Structure 1
Amino acid sequence: MKPFHLIAVPHRDILKGRLTMDTFAADLWEVYQNRGAEDYRDPELFFKKTYLTSGLKSLIKIASKRLRGEGGDPIIQIQTPFGGGKTHSLIALYHTFKNPEIAKKYIEGIEPIKAKVITIVGTAITPEKEDDKITGTLWGEIERQLEGDIKTLNSPISPGREKLRALLKKHEPVLILMDEVLAYVVKARGIKVGDTNLASQTIAFLQELTETVKSLSNTLLVMTLPASVLEYADEEVAEELLTKLQKVAGRVEKIYTPVAGEEIYEVIRRRLFQRIDEEEVKNIVDEFIDYYEREGILINKSQYREKMIKSYPFHPEVIDLLHHRWGSIPTFQRTRGVLRILSLVIYKLRDSPIPLIRPCDFDLSFGELAEELIKHIGKEYESVLSADITATDSNAKKVDESLGDAYKGLKLGTKVATTIFLYSFSGGEIKGISLGELKLTCSDINVPSSIISDVVNALEDNLYYLWKENGRYLFKNQPNLNKTVITKMTEIEMKQLEEEIKTLLKKYLGKKLLTYIYPKNSRDIPDTEEFKLVILPTNDKDFVKEIIQNYGNNPRVNKNTLFFLCPMESERHNFERFLREKLAWESIAKDKHIVLTDQQKKEVKEKIEKLKKDEKDKLRYFYRIIYLPGKDIKEIDLGIPTYGLKKTITEEIFDRLREEKEIVEKLAPILILNKYLANKDYLPIKQLYKALLTTPGEPRISKTNFIKSIEEGVKNGYFGFGILKDGEVECIKIKATPKIEFEDYEVIIKKELCEKKEPQVEEKKTSSEEKQKPEKTDTKITETKTEDKKEETIQDIKEDKIKKPREISEYMGPTINELTLEVKIPRGKLSEFYRYVMRNLENVFDDIEITIKIKATNGNLKKSDYELKIKETLNQINAEVLKEDIK
């Protein structure tokens, strides 16, 4: 799409930045004096840049009819809000009837005539009193403009209807234009006239004038009165005088509104642009309308399309925002102020590639533009703008950077914040903007509108003066809770952060693996056969190697049982910031010294809930590097956490290690045969398992699954199962499931050493009653040397000499049926006594009686603790107390 300034070409004075507020300040007196801005002074240029609204056309038409003596309203009062186009209408009447030939070229269907135009502007005419002589009366000014001098109407007393009628009748057709009358009356109040004052005389004169004009057929009085008196220092006095003026004018008034409805769009276009390519406008508008429809932003597509075409190159919301929201602020001049602001916006965007000007395209860092806005809302908003939007390190710009490379260049944080700021002010009750309205005013057709929601959320989290009330976002000059949060965040110490991380780890790690959080030395990690997950506070590979190699001062045996979970250091800043924010919000909730509104209490609660909802994913994103032993330290990155995953962190790690084949469910029998039994006749089972635990990089498997793998291999005939006794191996089972007790003497044996060959015996003919008995056979392992290869063969003899497979219990020697032990256990070794002694006894014996004898030289046990903690536990596990002796 083409840039807007190639489709709607601005006037040169706007492109050069020459426009000041005076340019848009319509001043009837300056026009009368042939001074001031050329746009108003030159009738040709004035009509070129003026859009003749229906109201203005009607006004000129009525005036023309009246001045021709064809009837019509004799008195017209133009009353609009401040800056609503009153003076512009008077200037249009001035040029129409002072220069009717020029006016005809621009006003169709009207035949204006040349008339005497009297120009009265209350701010330009000043009444004065010197030596009891008063000058500067309104009636004196009328005579001066008609006669060239003041001869008849030179008294400070209102002249009366007859003198006025004679003067006006002489010069008909006469058009009297009176602007800023209230300003004159306020000044006249200070000049004494006998027992009264000039203000009272002026009000009396206006009453006489209106009655006189009504009696004449070719004279018209058009006057303006303000809608309010806010621009006057003494509002009470001004209000009193305005009421009197309205009472006088109201008897014969007819009020006209110069600009109605959507005519403001054309007024603005005509004043700011020299030409507009309407075909290109339709193309651009159609693209935006299609986008709005796809995104579900618009309801009435066709109606809004027409509105966009009329307001181009401005988005319709730009005009409505300024004309209705800002225009309702009492000090804001509705037409002049809008034109001034829009001219500054165009000037700043004169080289921009944007195809349409939206509220978010206003550059509030542009000093002149910001000043035009701030003067209506208060100087305190300068600091608000700076902190949250315009400064190089503003909070909105931080949001810009946080959105990632795909959106960073769009500056959506600044744009959305700018739009919210513009919608935050109004003279009415409605302030702020909804999320739906933000999508309409800020969305870029090249990106999904849903990004606006993300931007708004980010702004809520970062801006100091952004508030949300009743679903609408707005700026205030009071800081929100974010400012308090930032202060609280700076007060959080590193130790508090470390404790919070430990708390979260304990909360979300789970129990799939034994976990050890933040060990101080290698001795803190036991050298046992279970798989262990070691969580380190930093990504410290040297410490990882230290723990793998050593168990305190001794070499570590079970190296292959260790896994390490370490943080990704590049994410530390983000994670710690998240934790600081979480702790800060929780601190605000607990701080009794902070007085919160109900809305803020709700906000704090919602914020804490949201942060708690995110804490697991944030923790997992930070803790994502796994190290494990191998030929060197192997690294696995868990990657970005899956949203909504309900697994604990240890479950996720365990599953990932299984996917990576670092933990296996079983050892394939063929692998055991080819890798571990290949060059051996037999291999002790327990020795093989120990080798897996101690050798980094070997398959990691639980003892239960390891035994199942051995059983499967024996059952399927890959190798046999037997025992090692007195240095000799004896096969117990093959192609059947063995019972493995996991003892030192249990071995797996090459299948060739376990297979039986059928004896080669000639058949004997026997009677049917005779039973054949197999001859005894012996099995011996012999060695037969060939040329360059050593072979092992099995010499088979009679079957009755083969040792039959027997259960392993036959080779275990004498058994123990009853055992009594009395042992003294060193301090700190009770858990190991239970793990390695009691568990083995419990696997063999059904009933175990334990005698506990405690005679301590140091320490004592409260009887209440004994009853509650010791006796109660014994009761809960159904233990029978056979003897109890307490001293």
Structure 2
Amino acid sequence: MTNYELVTTGFRELTKALVPFVITQLQNQYQGQWWNNGVIGSLAPEQQTGLPVGGTKEQMEKSLDLARCLYIIDRQWGMVFRQKLSREHKSWVTELINTRNDWAHKGMEDMDEGDAYRALDTMARLVESIDGEAYESIRKCANLVRYKTEGPSVEAPVKLAQQLEIPLNKVGLKPWRSVIAPHPDVQKGVYRKAEFAADLSQVARGIATAEYQDPKEFFARTYITSGIKELLLQAARRVTSGNGEPVIQLKTAFGGGKTHSLLALYHMMKNSAKAESLPGVKALLDSEKIGALPKTRVVTLVGTHLDPSKARRPDGLPGVQVYTLWGELAAQLAEQSNNPKLYEMVREADKKGVAPGSKVLTDLLDAASPCLILMDEIVAYARKIYGRNDLPCGSYGSVMSFMQELTEAVKASKRSLVVASIPESETEAGGDDGWRALQEISKVFGRMEYIWKPVGPEEGFSIVRRRLFMPVTDELAVEETCVAFSRMYNESSGDYPIESKELTYQARMKDCYPIHPEVFDRLYNDWTTLEKFQKTRGVLRFMATVVFNLWQGGDLGVLIMPGSIPLGQGQTKEEIVNYLPSGWDAIVDADIDGNRSQAYGIDAGNARYGQLMAARRCARAIFLGSAPSSKGQPNRGIEDSRIRLGVMQPGEQVSVYNDVLGRLEAKLTYLYSAGSRYWLDSAPNLRRTMEDRAAQVKPEAVEMEIEKRVANFGEKGMFAGIHTIPRSSADIPDELSARLVILSPLHKYSRGTGTSTAEEVAKDYLNNRGQSLRIYKNMLMFLAPDFGNSAHLEQEVRKYLAWLSIDIDKDSLNLDAGQQKEVASGLKTSSENVDLRIKETYIWLLVPTQEGTEPIRLEAYDLPADKESPIRKAQNVIRSNELLISQWAPALLRMKLDEPLWKDKDHIGIDELWKMMCQYCYLPRLRDREVLMNAIRAGMSSDEYFAYAEGYSNGRYMGLRIKQSYPDIIPSGLLVKPQIAIPVLEADKKPSSEEPSTSSLGVQGGQGASKTEREALSEQEEQSKGKRFYASFNLDPIRMNRDAGSIFENVVSLLAEIKDARIEVSINIHAVLPRGIDSGLERTIKENGRTLGVRDLGIEDID
């Protein structure tokens, strides 16, 4: 059968059990209105489709299906079903509602094995206290899914565990597998089918597994605790001499060994003739000088097996029908004594469902003496009949009366005793009715019983060792191992808990071998606090799974330690996470163990860790020591000293594990820490919350944060302005001053890759200012982010913004004081990292450069990636490479003047010179106009460089002077070639009788004027005549923007400087479109033309 078919079978059996149970409970609560109030009133309108309005009980019963039953239990929980079921039943019902919905929509597609087993296991748990037969049927389906066989005692092929990675033992100690071997069923995995669930009724019926059914096998695997020893001796005394306790109550938590203790009594007394052949029993009896045990009748009353609604027909009593507990007691005694008359003593009381009285019971017991009455799960039986008066088993009150009468009768009898198992917890009692029954039964037995608890806390490890392992084959190896561990613990000052240094701890290691005591301490101290984790049975099941996987995987560890537990193996993980809330399976896979876990990745990435599996071993130890903890605990988690205790083996370096703990703390999603304590939680830690939020931060938010921080880089320094991440070229003024443009983090520079968007954007800013051409290109420089480092910056900004959002939401996230401190620390560290990343990212200075008439290019200078402000680093590079001159020598100025600036001129205006230097990138880039003025002042002290004139008019230089130490110069003045200025100034010094003398203010034209003066006068006269200029250019339509700018710069702008000039520039566009034009595009062109003020625009057909 497929998994889907097995689940379908399970749902069918569950429905058969739930329908009568639901109807019965609703009838008890609502009487004749049970259908309207209990069924119709619980279901939504769409769920009522097909339900009859009324009819017979059979008709109504047939109309109820599984989904309706589950919804009714869920919605009538408080009023009806909490009386009969526990809180866990409520959660199982909720889970099955979802499971049933998924199953119904799956069609015939097969189910995942894990999901199918979980569904059937939950069904079995739900129905166990409701219908024993349905429980058995569903459990068989679950076994088929998990083990591919129905029965718990049939060996099936077991998938061998995956070969484990094995850290090598470095000090020559023998691995545990060479010293002690598991029992064959543990080696093969057959134990998993029995699940260590002792069942007294199965043993009494002869259908239990061999380790429970066979008396010798049972005692061979049973560690006789002090409690079991006292129990067996009390029973032996009672049946031999009548001196032992007549009433014994076994009281411990679920899975604590109550049923196992009853089985020990059963086998010893049932096989009294050969009791001395049972392992350990002869020595036990000899210790009290108890001789041979008499033949003893053993009665088993198991509440989960007995059906209070049906009569039983004993095979050995033809014609007899048994209805009640007292009838069952008498019938079993009659069958074992081969004396039907014993049943006749209670026949009438059994038939009427009335307790027979203590006198009748005393006579019955003495007539069958000696006898042992074992009562198991009796609270479950009482819970079934609570509030019912229509069952053949008698009323709840009659059963309570029988309990009291039985204890009195046993006490009055000669050689009989009763031993009853009583649960401790409300959960095991099951619902309000079960809890009331538990209280009353405890009160009845409490009047005269001997209360006994089967397993002492220090005996658990002996039980596990005896049940899982065969005897040790090399005691010397055990001794050497324990001594080596003890020496390691004592040689360290504070790496391990203080108790590990004591000799008593060394003795514990020997008693627990091959399992490290820390494993038992964590299981018994931490895991048994979980309601579902059974104290003895839970430890057995889990450790059997661990041992099986380690044995099959070839583990060579010296001991089985918390760090050895292979949680990456599906069987081990499945066994342990089943006790935890949903979601832990994924946590183990993500963080702790398995090839995709973070811990595995840490080991794989570092040989020092990997050879010891250090990360996985520590993660496993943290899981075992912290997974059962809850948020409300004051000291949550496991100390680092206990982590080391759970992973370190002799010969290893403790520093490796100390280091890897820090790596785990940084990488694991579900790991928390406070001081020296570590714990795992089902909720992602704040680091994971931060990472999730960081992934959701929008790029615009990242850019805004970077822009805000870049704006705070520092003072402008040598620049007239710093423009931080402009949105377009229009945001950058076109002025006669040096400016640094900091590009957006979106525009990155990468030298030589051809993928630099920074260059493209910088060239756009350099050539344009909005819709106009930029004139003063030589005044811009650009600071760009590095392509490679930008990703790190953006990621760090995302982290910072994520921490910031967590800090804002800390109240709604309900963060405790420790978490708020973590947020504050994360926010501070991340903010500092952002600042550092910005400085590491903005490391490219792009400077416009031009050689002669070559195109302008951007020269890239890389800045050091240190902690200094990028602006300061840029200024240092600018100074060292003289990219922006703050002090200029007059000789260098004269060299530039001798180049194209005044090549064909006698003078040049200072304003004109400054504008040219700001405009053309082949000229030196000066910080500001004052640098030029200072160079001119310095040059005026000599007659080698240039002269200065305040103006030039009518062929005369006004205020012409040269070689003055402190000249008074202004930007509107002129620089004059020395070879022009000196003759003029010398001529001014020679007076002439025929001509008026010239002053220093200028030179007047005339006969006495020099040749140069005469040429100037002639040129002035020529200029006074009116002129008309015209020109026609053919422009490349593709490069029109560039060519038009060049025409403006080289022609129109020069004409505009002429006084009273009237300039008209027209653009004529003529286009031939042989394929026509799209109507939409035609409309767009016309609308754009009208908007631009076109005078004449038309589109016409070609003839």
What's the TM-score, normalizing by structure 2? 0.52
Distance 1:566 1:152 in 2: 101
Amino acid paired to 2:800:
K
1:300 equivalent among 476, 499, 509: 499
The farther-off stretch of 315-324 and 409-418 is 409-418
Q: Distance in 2 between matches of 1:497 and 1:401?
A: 34
Compared CA separation, residues 239 and 507, structure 1 to 2 (3 A): same
565, 583, 586: which one pairs with 2:801? Answer: 583
Kindly indicate whether the alpha-carbon contact (under 8 Å) linking 2:609 and 2:615 is maintained by their aligned counterparts in 1. Answer: no
* Aligned residues of 2:718 and 2:927 also touching (Cα < 8 A): no
Quick one: which of 355, 364, 383 aligns to 1:186?
383
Deviation at 1:104, TM superposition (A): 6.4
Of residues 273, 293, 303, the one that matches 1:114 is 293
Give per-residue Cα distances to partners, 1:649-676, cap 9 Å, x unaligned: 889999xx9xxxx9xxxxxxxxxxxxxx
Seen in structure 2, the aligned counterparts of structure 1 residues 471 and 298 have a Cα distance that, compared at 3 Å, is closer
**1:610 paired residue among 824, 829, 838:** 829
Matches within 5 A, 1:686-835: 826=915, 831-835=927-931
Kindly indicate which of the two structures has a greater share of residues assigned to helix: 2
What does 1:118-137 align with in structure 2 at a 5 Å threshold?
A: 118-122=298-302, 123-128=304-309, 135-137=323-325
- Give the distance between the partners of 1:204 and 1:634, measured in 2 at CA: 100
Find the aligned partners of 2:870 and 2:589 in 1 and give their Cα distance. Answer: 47
Q: Is the 8 A contact 2:259 2:376 kept in 1?
A: yes
Equivalent residue letter for 1:349: L
1:76 alignment partner, SS class: strand
1:16 aligns with 2:188: yes
Say which is worse superposed, 265-274 or 46-55, in terms of deviation: 46-55
1:251 corresponding residue in structure 2: 447
Change in Cα spacing, 1:362 to 1:469, as seen in structure 2 (3 Å) is same
Q: Which amino acid aligns with 1:30?
A: Q
CA distance in structure 2 between the aligned counterparts of 1:850 and 1:637, rounded to whole angstroms = 39
Return the alpha-carbon distance in structure 1 between the equivalents of residues 938 and 600 of structure 2: 64
| Map 1:616-635 → 2, pairs under 5 A | none
Matched to 2:795, the amino acid is R
1:134-153 equivalences under 5 Å are 135-138=323-326, 139-148=329-338, 149=340, 150-153=343-346
* Cα offset, 1:340, TM superposition: 0.7
The alignment partner of 1:349 has SS state of helix
Aligned mates of 1:220, 1:425 — CA distance in 2? 40
User: CA deviation digits over 1:828-887, x for unaligned, max 9?
Assistant: 968333335448969999999998999xxxxxxxxxxxxxxxxxxxxxxxxxxxxxxxxx
Task: Report % sequence identity.
Answer: 26
- Aligned in 2, Cα 1:82/1:827: closer, same or farther, shift over 3 Å? farther
Indicate how the Cα distance of structure 1 residues 412 and 504 shifts in structure 2: closer, same or farther if over 3 A, else same: farther
1:507-550 CA distance string (max 9 Å, x none): 799999999999999xx9xxxxxxxx999944414799x99xx9
CA change 1:194–1:24 in 2 (3 A) is closer
**2:471 partner SS:** strand
Which whole-Å CA distance do the structure 2 matches of 1:170 and 1:502 have between them? 99
Amino acid in the other structure paired with 2:301: V
CA separation of 1:286/1:703 partners in 2, compared to 1, >3 Å: closer, same or farther?
Answer: farther
Question: Is residue 614–residue 656 contact of structure 2 (8 Å, CA) maintained in 1?
Answer: no
Superposed displacement of residue 567, structure 1:
5.7
Q: Say if 1:823 and 1:61 are closer, same or farther in 2 by CA, change over 3 A.
A: same
Map 1:531-550 → 2, pairs under 5 A:
537-541=748-752
1:728 maps to which residue?
none
What's the CA shift for 1:227?
A: 0.7
2:698 maps to 1:489? no
Check the 8 A contact 2:639/2:677 in 1, yes or no: yes
- Residue 540 of structure 2 aligns with an amino acid whose one-letter code is L
Assess if the C-alpha contact under 8 Å between 2:693 and 2:802 holds in 1: yes
3-state SS, counterpart of residue 258 of structure 1: coil
Deviations 1:569-593 (A, max 9, x none): 4x76556434432232234445799
For the structure 1 residues 218 and 73, does the alpha-carbon distance in structure 2 shift closer, same or farther, using more than 3 Å as the test? same
Residue 362 in 1 paired to residue 565 in 2?
Answer: yes
5+ residue gaps, structure 2: 1-168, 313-319, 734-741, 768-780, 847-858, 893-909, 919-925, 942-963, 974-1103
Distance 1:81 1:428 in 2: 24
* 1:76–1:253 contact (8 Å) kept in structure 2: yes
Deviation at 1:378?
Answer: 3.5
User: C-alpha separation between the residues in 2 aligned to 1:426 and 1:117?
Assistant: 47
Q: What secondary structure, in the 3-state scheme, does the structure 2 residue paired with 1:79 have? A: strand
| More moved, 237-246 vs 325-334 | 325-334
- Corresponding residue SS for 2:423: coil
Q: Does 1:407 align with 2:609?
A: yes
* Aligned equivalent of 2:209, options 37, 49, 68: 37
Distance 2:537 2:387 in 1: 31
Partner of 1:275, secondary structure, is: coil
Distance in 1 separating the partners of 2:831 and 2:967: 49
Kept in 2: contact 1:413–1:459 (CA 8 A): no
CA distance in 2, matches of 1:193, 1:283: 68
**Cα shift at 1:355:** 2.9
Residue aligning to 2:425: 228
Pair 1:591–1:47, CA change in 2 (3 A): closer
Partner of 1:450: 658
- 1:305-704 superposed matches below 5 A: 305-350=506-551, 351=553, 352-385=555-588, 388-389=591-592, 393=596, 396=598, 400=602, 404-408=606-610, 415-422=617-624, 423-425=626-628, 430=633, 432-436=636-640, 439-440=643-644, 443-444=647-648, 445-446=652-653, 447-459=655-667, 462-463=669-670, 466=671, 473-482=678-687, 484-493=689-698, 497=702, 537-541=748-752, 569=788, 576-590=794-808, 595-599=813-817, 600-615=819-834, 648=868
Q: Could you say which residue in structure 1 is the equivalent of 2:476?
A: 279
Partner of 2:197: 25
Q: CA–CA distance in 2 between the matches of 1:540 and 1:837? A: 37
Q: Is the alpha carbon distance of 1:542 and 1:247 closer, same or farther for their aligned partners in structure 2, counting shifts above 3 Å?
A: closer
Q: Deviations over 1:690-736 (max 9, x none)?
A: 9x979xxxxxxx999xxxxxxxxxxxxxxxxxxxxxxxxxxxxxxxx
Specify the SS of the correspondent of 2:417: strand
Distance 1:73 1:296 in 2: 50
Q: Check the 8 A contact 2:200/2:263 in 1, yes or no.
A: yes
| CA distance in structure 2 between the partners assigned to 1:332 and 1:220 by the alignment | 31
Aligned residues of 1:23 and 1:37 also touching (Cα < 8 A)? no
Measure, in 2, the Cα distance between the counterparts of 1:580 and 1:104: 69
Instruction: State the distance in 1 between where 2:267 and 2:256 align.
Output: 19
SS in 2 for 1:301: helix
Cα shift at 1:57: 1.8
| Structure-1 separation of matches of 2:487 and 2:782 | 55
Post-superposition shift, 1:247? 1.2
Give the letter aligned to residue 575 of structure 2.
E
3-state SS of 1:182 partner: helix
Q: Note the C-alpha offset of 1:503.
A: 7.0
Q: What SS is found at the alignment partner of 1:448? A: helix
Higher strand share: 1
In 1, are the aligned partners of 2:228 and 2:261 still within 8 Å (CA)?
A: yes
One-letter code aligned to 1:436: D
Equivalenced residues, count: 681
Shift of 1:224: 1.2
Return closer, same or farther for 1:23/1:497 CA change in 2, 3 Å cut-off.
Answer: closer
What TM-score results when the alignment is normalised by the length of structure 1? 0.63
Verify the 8 A CA contact 2:258 2:454 in the aligned structure 1: yes
Partner of 1:101: 276
Stretch deviating more after TM superposition (503-512 or 311-320): 503-512
1:51 maps onto 2:231 in alignment:
no
Q: Secondary structure at the match of 2:662?
A: helix
